[in-house]
Amino acid sequence: MNNKIGIQYGYWARERNVDFLAYVSRAAKLGLEVLGFGVGTLLTYLTVDQRNAFKTAVLDAGLELNLQTGCRIDCDITSGNEEIRRKGIEHLKQHIQAAHDLGGKVLGGMIHSVWCGPKPEKERRYYLDNSVKSMKEVVKFAEDLGMFLNVEVVNRFENFLLTTAQQGLEYVKMVGSPNLKVELDTFHMNIEEDHIGQAILTVGENLGSLHVCENNRKLPGKGHIPWNEVADAIRQINYRGYIAIESFVTADCPYGREYFIWRDLEDNDLDAAVKESLKFLRATFEV
Ligand SMILES: [Mn+2]
């Protein structure tokens, strides 16, 4: 296997705005190869000069960036309101450009609709068609920059449009671009799929990104996700993308509230716990 293992900075962060450079050296020191951030966060809290310094620090540390973004209610590519839909397309193009400028190669997350948005008023198909029509335009912009997009499939409590691997695959096929793939996440698959390994096999060569964490958002190795089944499946499909830890473990802070963390999920030193989880992942995935 030949996958790079990373982590989303929210594992450590108590709020969105942090000393971003400190996380770069911290991740590299622990032996991680990829670091995840929201593009919007970096655009909001860093100046252009600071973003350039951040990009240099990431390169110098030998890390790669795994960037995420999403639509918002006021810029939503599933909307039947043409003004809002157009704003969504421009928002995504801006974030693709920013991800590219930061040195990232991939942009994933809720790029197909709104994370934790309001419940839909119409049938799913209506929003799906709007989203696919918009994504066809968005992905052309990504193709021209050589960027790869990944649509994340999440559980029913966080989104209605893509909740299963099968739906993620259908979406990607409807858009029909080699630069658009599916992002699967063990936390969400644990809720929605009949069989996690089979879900990964269903997506097959269209899997562009894999988020790993336990059923309760703890670090891999501490819960009941069937890791050998996950590893067997990604081996079978010859998956070469990132294995990105997306654990959130700290309650009583703004970041924890955003991700519905209502109790502390890690008793040990956070860095020591990551080291242990990394060891577990390397052994399980043989990377
Ligand atoms: Mn995820």
Other CB atoms within a 10 A radius of the CB of residue 115 amount to 16
Q: Which pLDDT tens digit goes with each residue over 205-242?
A: 999 999 999 999 999 999 999 999 999 999 999 999 99
Q: How far is the CA of 247 from the centre of ligand 1 (A)?
A: 9
- Residues with a known catalytic role: 152, 246
Say what the pLDDT of residue 124 is.
98
Strands 207-212 and 180-185: parallel
Tokens of 275: 């080291």
Q: Is 264 helix (H, G, I), strand (E, B) or coil?
A: coil
Long-range contacts of 220-227 (CB under 8 A, 24+ apart): 220/186, 220/245, 220/247, 220/277, 220/280, 220/281, 220/284, 221/276, 221/277, 221/280, 221/281, 222/277, 225/186, 225/190, 225/196, 226/196, 226/197, 227/280, 227/284
Q: How far is the CA of 123 from the centre of ligand 1 (A)?
A: 25
Q: How far is the CA of 154 from the centre of ligand 1 (A)?
A: 7
Q: How far is the CA of 90 from the centre of ligand 1 (A)?
A: 23
Of 94, 74, 96, 95, residue with least CA distance to 85:
74
Say what the pLDDT of residue 75 is.
98
Say what the pLDDT of residue 2 is.
84
Q: How far is the CA of 268 from the centre of ligand 1 (A)?
A: 23
Task: Supply the DSSP string of 43-61, one letter for each residue.
Answer: HHH--HHHHHHHHHHHHHT
Identify the H or E element spanning 66. Answer: strand 64-71
> How far is the C-alpha of 189 from the C-alpha of 155, rounded, in Å?
7
Q: How far is the CA of 152 from the centre of ligand 1 (A)?
A: 7
> How far is the C-alpha of 138 from the C-alpha of 220, rounded, in Å?
33
Q: How many residues does the chain have?
A: 287
On whether the CB atoms of residues 259 and 38 are closer than 8 A, the answer is no
Q: How far is the CA of 1 from the centre of ligand 1 (A)?
A: 22
Residue by residue, pLDDT tens for the chain (287 residues) are 789 999 999 999 999 999 999 999 999 999 999 999 999 999 999 999 999 999 999 999 999 999 999 999 999 999 999 999 999 999 999 999 999 999 999 999 999 999 999 999 999 999 999 999 999 999 999 999 999 999 999 999 999 999 999 999 999 999 999 999 999 999 999 999 999 999 999 999 999 999 999 999 999 999 999 999 999 999 999 999 999 999 999 999 999 999 999 999 999 999 999 999 999 999 999 98
Q: How far is the CA of 146 from the centre of ligand 1 (A)?
A: 23
Task: Report yes or no on whether pTM surpasses 0.85.
Answer: yes
Say what the pLDDT of residue 208 is.
98
